[in-house]
A and B are shown apart, each in its own frame.
Chain A
Amino acid sequence: MSLWLCLRFDQLSLQCLSRSEEQAVAVLVRQRVICANDCAAALGVREGMTSAGVRALAGDDTPLQLLERNIGAEQHCLDQLCCWAYGITPTLHKWREDCLQLEIGGCLRLFRGLDQLLAEVANGLDSRGYRVHYGLAPTPKAAWLLSFAPRQSALAIQLPLVERLGPLPLSLLDTFSGTVASLRRAGLRTLGEVLALPSAALGRRCGLEFSHFLQQLLGQREDLQTDYQPPATFSDAFWFGYEVKINGELLPAVQLLLQSLCRFLRQTQLRTTQIHWQFIAIDHRVHELCVRSASSHSDWKNWYQLTAIRLEQVQLQAGVEGLALVCRQLCPAQPDNIDLFGPGRQSEPLASLLDRLRSRLGLQAIEQVSCRDEHLPELAVQLSHDLPGDGHTTGTHCAQRPFWLMPRPQALRQRHNRLYWNGPLNLVYGPERIEDNWWREAVSRDYYIAAGNGRHYWVFLDRLARCWYIHGIFA
């Protein structure tokens, strides 16, 4: 059985523009109030008043804000709410200008019952700060109508639908204003009185469209709507409402946006390797900061740490009023393999440490070593800034090799027939001849182990140049 939950945001036009609770705010269309907050309502501001009337009510000493309605902002808010509601059910659509219709019959088991699902919805909307009216019914149109009913009857799905719809006034059907007016002239005031009439006669008098509406309301006719589809890229913004000058004060907003991103990524089964932060200054200049990660993932804590490291280094020129998070490159997620039986010491992927170090110290500061199948010691070590390939060979011929290798051999001083490197050296083991590279620049060396000053060194005699060098230190 399908079950629809209608979320009607009756103050959307106000709440998408201003969340102020201390100041009286009213939204106007053509100089008429369409929505006012609690503060303004306490002053006596009602729907339909003129702006002059509102100003007169407020007087001179009360702060009052009159805003023009912004339909674009409302739709943007509704889109963001769709994105959030997509985490509850995949079947949803926008309805009229201020409603979301969620089909929740298919996900009751996921949430372990209707009560938990409604609690989850209320929780999510509370944190976003929207005032909402609920309506529950087997059809979307009935759910919408019931969102105008008192709360007990709006959620009472155990009662018959006709009985719940009965007391609702006909004036709610504002899309059929002509029909409703003629019905009212005939003495019909509530929906129940209209539904009691024989449908064939009603259809003849009020037109096909109205009778189709009633049939859809009662579930006797299909009501098909296009489902909401999540967008291909992610973009969300946070507005502080005041100027932020210290980077640390941005972090709560960063966390909020990242959580929203990761919810989006989880729902759409996508991942990303880079995110873009846009700092919107007071003068609307945008400063962009890109944060990268070696592996694609959807773990917000990881992104948060990386962003915090980058924010420590960035000096913002001007105060920031808004923070936007944009994610343009998304790729399909590969599910992680989690070790069920492992000791559980490691709680994050290996690359996360690499990311953190790289984001502060730079790409060049992190190196990895690997072996190469080469004869010359300096060629046998490979240093790379990226993850080395599968160069893991088990060396068999390195019995007497030092732990440390100098990046390039350093010349040794000689005095009175002795070698010096922080003190005199004695050759204690050797020689081992290494010759190679004859096709390019012939190299022929005799390697010895030299002792001196309590330590052992790897030194060699370049047989071609007849010079002594130190090449490594034993550890």
Chain B
Amino acid sequence: MNQMIERVMRRTDTWRGRHSQWRGHSLPANSEGHGRSGLPTGYSALDGQLQHGGWPLDSAIELLSDGCGLGAMGLFLPAMEKLSEQGRWQVFIAPPYIPYAPLLAARGIDTRQVLLVHPQNREDLLWSTEQALRSTTSSAVFSWLGAHDYRYSELRKLQLAAASGDSLTVLFRANGAARQHAPAGLRLQMRAYRQVHILKQRGGNQGISVDLPLAEDVPQQPQLWELPPWPDNNSEQPPALGAGSIV
């Protein structure tokens, strides 16, 4: 009997009472993991708001944005760079375009680890995501689930697969999914330029927006939108545009 209780307690998604004496840690009652630390995001403002100070590795992260998360990859570049040391696959499932290899290389990511998977249909997409999550050979799995509708059970399957492994799991979904219930431990939404909104965080703060300060970007290699400070001549319309319109 004790073994059964222990097994249930060892699960990371078991809710526990307020004054949990279990292994003497003092995290919030339903917090994820037992002293498991997150993967630093590379943005101190975001780290501060996330449980364990970084991306959770034992749960899926849902990222909701327009354009299927095209504009949000910059959030994960520092994490990808860190995971690159492990020498395991970084799997892109159904990526909308080609990741620009020279940029990845310049950011210290070994491009030989990047695997692009192009499934033909929705079933194959879910299947390959689960395969990549269950495999011990992947350190990061980015899956563009797109604007399809997914049943809760399908997403739950992915969440369980993510919880069983130790890879960074990011599921990109459309903004419309924000209204639906989802099993992911962390749900984020990109609402504005350099602003992340935490929709849901199990055992942590939620419903807050985090601004990502420009100052934390690596000089010459800005992290988020790759935009260096532009000399203040915005008013001046580049002449080339006019030239183009003549033709």
Contact in complex: B118, A348 (CB < 8 Å) = no
Which residues of the other chain, B, contact A159 by a CB distance below 8 angstroms?
none
Check A474 for interface membership: any CB of B closer than 8 A: yes
Partner of B70, one of A357, A468, A473: A473
Partner of A403, one of B88, B103, B192, B247: B103
Contact in complex: B102, A401 (CB < 8 Å) = yes
Partner of B117, one of A361, A370, A371, A427: A361
Contact in complex: A361, B101 (CB < 8 Å) = no
Contact in complex: B135, A401 (CB < 8 Å) = no
Known: A352-B135, A392-B111. A429 touches B105 (CB 8 A): no
Q: Which residue in chain B gives the minimum CB-CB distance to A347?
A: B136
Contact in complex: B245, A417 (CB < 8 Å) = yes
Contact in complex: B244, A454 (CB < 8 Å) = no
Contact in complex: B101, A475 (CB < 8 Å) = no
Which residues of the other chain, A, contact B220 by a CB distance below 8 angstroms?
399
> How many residues belonging to A are interface residues under a CB distance threshold of 8 Å?
68
What CA separation (Å) do A268 and B67 show in the bound complex? 55
Contact in complex: A381, B101 (CB < 8 Å) = yes
Check B119 for interface membership: any CB of A closer than 8 A: yes
Contact in complex: B135, A395 (CB < 8 Å) = no
Contact in complex: B137, A401 (CB < 8 Å) = no
Contact in complex: A417, B241 (CB < 8 Å) = yes
Contact in complex: B111, A369 (CB < 8 Å) = yes
- Produce 1/0 per residue, A249-291, CB < 8 A to B: 0000000000000000000000000000000000000000000
Interface Cβ pair total, 8 Å cutoff: 209
Distance to closest chain B CB from A392 (angstroms): 6
Which residues of the other chain, A, contact B119 by a CB distance below 8 angstroms?
361, 365
Contact in complex: B86, A366 (CB < 8 Å) = no
What CA separation (Å) do A368 and B111 show in the bound complex? 8
Check A461 for interface membership: any CB of B closer than 8 A: yes
Partner of B226, one of A354, A357, A401: A401
Tell me the chain A residues, 391-448 only, with Cβ under 8 Å from chain B: 391-396, 398-407, 414, 417-419, 427-431, 446, 448
Contact in complex: A345, B115 (CB < 8 Å) = no
What CA separation (Å) do A82 and B78 show in the bound complex? 57
What CA separation (Å) do A349 and B87 show in the bound complex? 11
Q: Which of A347, A367, A392, A428 has the most CB of B within 10 A?
A: A367
Q: Which residue in chain A gives the minimum CB-CB distance to B242?
A: A417
Contact in complex: A350, B102 (CB < 8 Å) = no
Check A467 for interface membership: any CB of B closer than 8 A: yes
Contact in complex: A414, B244 (CB < 8 Å) = yes
Q: Which residue in chain B gives the minimum CB-CB distance to A387?
A: B112
- Produce 1/0 per residue, B207-233, CB < 8 A to A: 000000000000011000111101000
Partner of A454, one of B71, B95, B118, B237: B71
Which residues of the other chain, B, contact A55 by a CB distance below 8 angstroms?
none
Which residues of the other chain, A, contact B226 by a CB distance below 8 angstroms?
400-403, 449, 456, 474-475
Contact in complex: B106, A368 (CB < 8 Å) = no
Q: Which residue in chain A gives the minimum CB-CB distance to B247?
A: A466
Contact in complex: A353, B101 (CB < 8 Å) = no
Which residues of the other chain, A, contact B135 by a CB distance below 8 angstroms?
348, 352-353, 356
Q: Which residue in chain B gives the minimum CB-CB distance to A448?
A: B238
Which residues of the other chain, B, contact A392 by a CB distance below 8 angstroms?
105, 110-112
Check A472 for interface membership: any CB of B closer than 8 A: yes
What CA separation (Å) do A383 and B77 show in the bound complex? 20
Partner of A401, one of B89, B100, B242: B100
Q: Which residue in chain A gives the minimum CB-CB distance to B98?
A: A405
Contact in complex: B116, A394 (CB < 8 Å) = no
Q: Which of B98, B100, B104, B227 has the most CB of A within 10 A?
A: B100
Contact in complex: A407, B221 (CB < 8 Å) = no
Contact in complex: B228, A399 (CB < 8 Å) = yes
Tell me the chain B residues, 10-33 only, with Cβ under 8 Å from chain A: none
Contact in complex: A461, B98 (CB < 8 Å) = no
What CA separation (Å) do A12 and B201 show in the bound complex? 66
Q: Which residue in chain A gives the minimum CB-CB distance to B191?
A: A454
Which residues of the other chain, A, contact B131 by a CB distance below 8 angstroms?
353, 356-357
Which residues of the other chain, A, contact B97 by a CB distance below 8 angstroms?
404-407, 472-473
Which residues of the other chain, A, contact B132 by a CB distance below 8 angstroms?
353, 357
Which residues of the other chain, B, contact A352 by a CB distance below 8 angstroms?
135, 137
Contact in complex: B102, A427 (CB < 8 Å) = no
Known: A370-B112, A475-B73. A348 touches B137 (CB 8 A): yes
Check A360 for interface membership: any CB of B closer than 8 A: yes
What CA separation (Å) do A321 and B211 show in the bound complex? 65
Partner of B118, one of A367, A377, A448, A449: A367
Which residues of the other chain, B, contact A396 by a CB distance below 8 angstroms?
106
What CA separation (Å) do A380 and B97 show in the bound complex? 15
Check B145 for interface membership: any CB of A closer than 8 A: no
Check A346 for interface membership: any CB of B closer than 8 A: yes
Distance to closest chain A CB from B68 (angstroms): 11
What CA separation (Å) do A193 and B225 show in the bound complex? 100
Contact in complex: A402, B103 (CB < 8 Å) = yes
Partner of A381, one of B102, B166, B192: B102
Which residues of the other chain, A, contact B240 by a CB distance below 8 angstroms?
431, 446, 448, 461
Contact in complex: B101, A370 (CB < 8 Å) = yes
Q: Which residue in chain B gives the minimum CB-CB distance to A370?
A: B111
Check A455 for interface membership: any CB of B closer than 8 A: yes
Which residues of the other chain, B, contact A393 by a CB distance below 8 angstroms?
105
Contact in complex: A455, B111 (CB < 8 Å) = no
Check A382 for interface membership: any CB of B closer than 8 A: yes
Check B96 for interface membership: any CB of A closer than 8 A: yes
Distance to closest chain A CB from B83 (angstroms): 11
Q: Which residue in chain B gives the minimum CB-CB distance to A425?
A: B241
Check A332 for interface membership: any CB of B closer than 8 A: no
What CA separation (Å) do A287 and B242 show in the bound complex? 67
Q: Which residue in chain B gives the minimum CB-CB distance to A356?
A: B131
Q: Which of B74, B135, B246 has the most CB of A within 10 A?
A: B135
Partner of B124, one of A350, A361, A466, A474: A361
Could you pull out 16 A-B pairs where Cβ atoms are within 8 angstroms? A345-B136, A353-B131, A353-B132, A368-B111, A380-B100, A381-B100, A392-B105, A399-B106, A399-B220, A403-B103, A404-B96, A405-B99, A406-B98, A448-B238, A456-B71, A474-B74
Binding site for B on A (CB under 8 A): 345-350, 352-354, 356-357, 360-361, 364-371, 377, 380-383, 387-388, 391-396, 398-407, 414, 417-419, 427-431, 446, 448-449, 454-456, 461, 465-468, 472-475
* Extra inter-chain contacts (5) besides given A368-B116, A399-B221, A468-B244, CB under 8 Å: A348-B137, A360-B124, A392-B105, A401-B226, A475-B73
Which 10 interchain pairs have the tightest Cβ spacing?
A475-B73, A395-B102, A404-B97, A466-B247, A367-B116, A353-B135, A405-B100, A395-B106, A369-B101, A401-B103
